[in-house]
Amino acid sequence: MTDNIVEKIQREHDAILSELDGLIEEAGSEQQQSRAEGFLRMERKLQTHMYAEERVFSPLLAGTLQERIEESLDDHNRIRRELREAFAARSLKPGWRAALAELKTLVRFHVENEEVLLNELGDGFSDADLEGMGRRFEAEKQNYLGALAELSHGSGEAV
């Protein structure tokens, strides 16, 4: 499997969008439990992805990429807000599907914006740099997941 950050990110975009499609398809089901579980799985993937992008892209803040990166951050924050709203709507029948559809629109729009950033990255850096970034991207994802696991372990002990 490639370490190239551009290919890694594109693969994750495809995976997240298809998970969102699956959630929208199942939005009418009565299974509230699996509905929440599927959402939380997709949410974790998306939050981890955005966190790692922010950690890896921020050091590149310079010249032409700066504006793109700031736009990306705004998109991420919009997506995070919609994730909270969608989760809050999980027990409302019409609201749930609408919130998921809105989330998917935001994610698809962001993915299109990010393609421009990814192209600039691909053109501006050597293969070795892009592979180094890909490894840092994976390491940042592990940091995020590790921090989440620590948090849930901590709260488990507190109860």
Q: Give me the residues that bind Fe ion (CB under 5 A), please.
A: 53, 114
- To the nearest whole angstrom, how small is the minimum distance from the Cβ of residue 28 to Fe ion? 29
- To the nearest whole angstrom, how small is the minimum distance from the Cβ of residue 79 to Fe ion? 8
Q: Which is nearer to Fe ion, 11 or 93 (CB)?
A: 11
Q: Which is nearer to Fe ion, 43 or 53 (CB)?
A: 53
- To the nearest whole angstrom, how small is the minimum distance from the Cβ of residue 76 to Fe ion? 6
Q: Please identify which residue in the block is written with the tokens 């749930």.
A: 96
Closest residue (Cβ) to Fe ion?
A: 53
Give 8-39 as a 3 state SS string: HHHHHHHHHHHHHHHHHHHHHCCCHHHHHHHH
Q: Are the C-beta atoms of residues 59 and 40 closer than 8 Å to each other?
A: no
> Other CB atoms closer than 10 Å to residue 129's CB: what's the count?
13
Q: Please identify which residue in the block is written with the tokens 């998921």.
A: 100
- Positive or negative, the CA dihedral 74, 77, 78, 79 is positive
Q: Which is nearer to Fe ion, 9 or 86 (CB)?
A: 9
- To the nearest whole angstrom, how small is the minimum distance from the Cβ of residue 90 to Fe ion? 24
Q: Which is nearer to Fe ion, 48 or 97 (CB)?
A: 48
